[in-house]
Amino acid sequence: MRSITWAQASARRLSRHHLADPADRDPAAISAAALGIHAQVMSAAELSVCIRTNSMTRADVRDALWRTKTLVKTRGPRGTVHLLAAADLPMWTGSLSAIPPEPISWPDEVRMSETQTERVIEAIADAVADAELTVDELTEAIVARVGSWAGDRVMPAFQDKWPRWRQVEAIATSRGALCFGPDRGRRTTYTSPRRWLPGFTPAPPDEALSGLIKRYLRGYGPATTDQFARWLGAPPSWSARLFAEQPGVERVDFDGTPAWVERDDTDFPGAAARGLRLLPYFDSYLIGCWPRTRLFPGPAAQRALRGGQAGNVPALLVNGVVTGVWHQRRSGNRIVVTVEPLAELTAAQRELLDEEVDRIGRILQGTAVLTIGPVTVGAHA
């Protein structure tokens, strides 16, 4: 088998994620290259997009979401909230809806039947077709279409109870029946992805999954089937069978571990990764790249990982590996960026850090001030 080193893989990944050299690309192209931008924390998602470009600000990301609609906010890998390129929605929904469902754990008095599930999903799609509805408004619309049973508050959630229909929210999203609309004050709204992509329909599962694997290996390869499963939120055994059926993939030796790349995409750079980046909460690069021992070496594993989970802590990335943590706090127009390096920075790296902090200020449309010292803020849940 062809042998690929960590240095080669790291350099290619950084380049393809536009982290080595920020690109003159639009937010949708940046999201497509990263296979989605994690948007659990919206300010972090805006930063994740913009640090991969030369001159973009958070206003450009918001414009792509709510005006030009080239980005869509919906659930992506692992069922988590992402910004996805609207043009990629057929691939995403075709893939996500093909993942084998987890066993139903709801008790009989809470659980919905298959018939009820289909009726609710149809009701959701109809209700949001030309509207932006809060969860309460969507509940009323569903109840009006299928009956009061869908609105019964029977699902324990956050010291409260949710209406019965919400147990199929993830299924409805993965099928493309709904996505997130613009916030109404502090309240989330839901709407239809067809308002972003007229004529939208999920791609056939085989076609969608083949395309997703190809894109994943281009952005994150070499990778194992277990790593793909963990990134996507799918059963490992299903992932292994899926890769075995793909004609366009090739096995390689990746630092002593068998892994996969796309058969027509086996060129890797000879030079090691160089540069410095401040990656925010849940940056897609941190979550999608393996092995963790290489990306988070030594003390970085204790400081920037939580139970093996990446992304909960913003990371200082130097030459392709995590070598520190950071945090930003905003007060009006002033943004205090605190960086805690885990190894001494060279004079050249310190200059790059100053430049990166200035970039963050421009992206967030404020004035950023750098402080070197301990980061005392805990990990994000």
Q: 238-285, pLDDT tens digit by residue?
A: 999 999 999 999 999 999 999 999 999 999 998 888 899 999 999 999
For 24-32, what is the mean pLDDT? 95
Flag whether pLDDT at 166 surpasses 70. Answer: yes
CA distances from 227 to 36, 104, 180, 230, 232 (A): 16, 24, 28, 5, 9
> Residue 272: its pLDDT value, please?
86
What residue type is 40 in one-letter code?
Q
For 63-82, what is the mean pLDDT? 97
For 88-109, what is the mean pLDDT? 93
Assess whether the previous peptide bond of 198 is cis (omega < 30° from 0): no
285 or 21: which leads in pLDDT:
285
Strands 321-331 and 153-157: unpaired
Flag whether pLDDT at 358 surpasses 70. Answer: yes
Task: Read off the pLDDT band of 356 (50, 70, 90).
Answer: very high
Beta bridge partners of 75: 81
> Residue 381: its pLDDT value, please?
60
Flag whether pLDDT at 111 surpasses 80. Answer: yes
Torsions phi, psi for 316 (to 5 deg): -90, 120
> Residue 130: its pLDDT value, please?
94
> Residue 48: its pLDDT value, please?
97
> Residue 23: its pLDDT value, please?
85
Question: Can you read off the two tokens belonging to residue 250?
Answer: 């090739």
Task: Read off the pLDDT band of 308 (50, 70, 90).
Answer: confident
For 85-108, what is the mean pLDDT? 93
Q: What angle do CA 156, 160, 163 make, to 5 degrees?
A: 65
> Residue 102: its pLDDT value, please?
85
- The structure's pTM equals 0.95
Strands 334-341 and 367-372: parallel
What's the rounded Cα separation, in Å, for the pair 144 and 234? 34
Flag whether pLDDT at 28 surpasses 90. Answer: yes
pLDDT above 70 covers a percentage of the chain that reads 100
